[in-house]
Chains A and B, each alone.
Chain A
């Protein structure tokens, strides 16, 4: 089974509106971390937001928030007030296990296009 699933083929959003990018994950480890990265056409992977499996509150970082639903094993990224510069690929990733002792496993990504 895939550990990270991102099934939306491509998303479009109007500038200044909010958009939700879906991510579901699969793990039997009770301790894990979930990450979202943005990859513009230049190729660099830019860290956006992190959610730990034991965190009581949903993570927020500026215009980014993570809708963490543990029972459903979903970790959707919400981008508020979309900007043209948000157009990029977005990847959800998971690190399993306590501590920083393991690698990230990535999903296939979602393309987001922001329309003016």
Chain B
């Protein structure tokens, strides 16, 4: 399967712990996005990379959140000192840059539950 891959798919953690999610994009895609989705809502943009450069961050991305894409391939999203409000699904997506019609393809998401 050559789609966007995310792991772990599910994570339950205690409040205050750190968690890290990994995303492997479609291999030829140079853009990678992170979104957060809570129950009953559409995905909300968090940040995106073009190659290894982080080009935009949402104000939703507090200081406890950090994303990296060190070699322009896979990316990690780390949440430090988790809070119950961080419980959500974290979606990764990838695309090619260049044309507005270039589709953004999503992974299956990583569900986070903070207890």
Q: Which residues of A contact B (CB under 8 A)?
A: 4, 31-33, 35, 37, 42-47, 50, 52, 91, 93, 95, 97-101, 103-109
Contacts and interface: CB of A to CB of B under 8 A. Distances in A.
Contacts of B33: 103-104
Contacts of A46: 106
Contacts of A104: 33, 43, 45, 104
Contacts of B104: 35, 47, 104
A103 B48 contact: yes
B19 interface: no
Nearest to A111: B40
Nearest to B4: A44
B100 A31 contact: yes
Contacts of A105: 45
Contacts, number: 70
A45 B94 CA distance: 12
18 contacts: A33-B101, A37-B106, A42-B108, A43-B91, A43-B109, A45-B91, A50-B103, A91-B43, A93-B42, A95-B100, A100-B95, A100-B99, A103-B33, A103-B48, A104-B43, A104-B45, A108-B42, A109-B42
Task: Classify the secondary structure of B's interface with A.
Answer: loop
A100 B31 contact: yes
Interface of B: 31, 33, 40-45, 48, 56, 89, 91, 93, 95-109, 111
A32 to B, nearest CB: 8
Contacts of B103: 35, 47, 50
B78 to A, nearest CB: 20
Nearest to A55: B101
A50 B31 CA distance: 18
Instruction: List 5 A-B pairs, minimum CB-CB distance, nearest first.
Output: A106-B42, A45-B106, A43-B109, A44-B108, A100-B102
Contacts of A33: 100-101
